[in-house]
Amino acid sequence: MTHIIADISISLDGYVTGPDPGLHNGLGNGGEGLHTWAFSDDPEDRRIVRETTERSGAVVLGRNLFDIVDGPKGWNDETGYGAREAGKPSLVVVTSAPPASVRTSDLDWTFAPTGVRDAVAVARERAEAASARSGKDLDVYVMGGGLTISSALDAGLIDVLTLHIAPVVLGGGTPLFTGGVPHTLTQRSVLRTPTATHIAYDVPR
């Protein structure tokens, strides 16, 4: 069965980027510390990255994040989806203005112009097709940015919310939660590593 999993790194004060994020400063000022765990050599951190990448049948992301990962300082053959794993699942971008071209043309991009609900539906189809081909259950991962995840959560599209809480206080940036629909989640698992606390929550529908 394909699940919809929101998965993102976050600071102790609730930000998914540092201040002043942009095309050439994707994680904002100081935001690199959010993803230290993803490039760590700690065995548990590596396991989480590897297993998440292997289970990703399709991935949903917002347009701002697409511009960063497809930009000149974005993904390459060594570092991409899944950090050093550089996985290649189907990628679905929520955007009302698809780009004229993409730099990372070796990846499977789809642009969903009609909102996050339709993007998740397309991603589910891609993940289910990938599951059928591989013979194992694969999931949809909503990787960000913050607005895309919070919109999907508020729309009731998310089954599991996974937060990788980095031991940094950024003092500003892009918040994950800015108000909206209240949620009461059920804690599924907690794992502490030297670089992050990994917490997964079930999201009641």
Task: Encode the chain (205 residues) as per-residue pLDDT tens digits.
Answer: 999 999 999 999 999 999 999 888 999 999 999 999 999 999 999 999 999 999 999 999 999 999 999 999 899 989 999 999 989 999 999 999 999 999 999 999 999 999 999 999 999 999 999 999 999 999 999 999 999 999 999 999 999 999 999 999 999 999 999 887 899 999 999 999 999 999 999 999 8
Contacts 24+ apart (CB under 8 A), 26-30: 26/68, 26/69, 26/71, 26/73, 26/74, 28/170, 28/173, 28/174, 29/173, 30/168, 30/170
pLDDT of amino acid 102:
97
pLDDT of amino acid 108:
97
- What does pTM read for this prediction? 0.95
CA atoms of 140 and 58, how far apart (whole Å): 5
Q: Do 121 and 128 contact (CB within 8 A), yes or no? A: no
The residue type of 45 is: D
CA atoms of 150 and 144, how far apart (whole Å): 9
Tell me the pairing of strands 4-10 and 90-94.
unpaired
Fill in the DSSP letter of residue 158: -
CA dihedral sign, ordered 109, 143, 150, 69 = negative
pLDDT of amino acid 21:
93
pLDDT of amino acid 180:
79
**What's the token pair of residue 11?**
């600071």
pLDDT of amino acid 24:
86
Going from the C-alpha of 189 to that of each of 63, 69, 163, 176, the distances in angstroms are 30, 29, 11, 20
Under CATH, domain 4-14+27-198 is a member of which superfamily?
Dihydrofolate Reductase, subunit A (3.40.430.10)
Tell me the pairing of strands 160-165 and 139-144.
unpaired
pLDDT of amino acid 126:
98
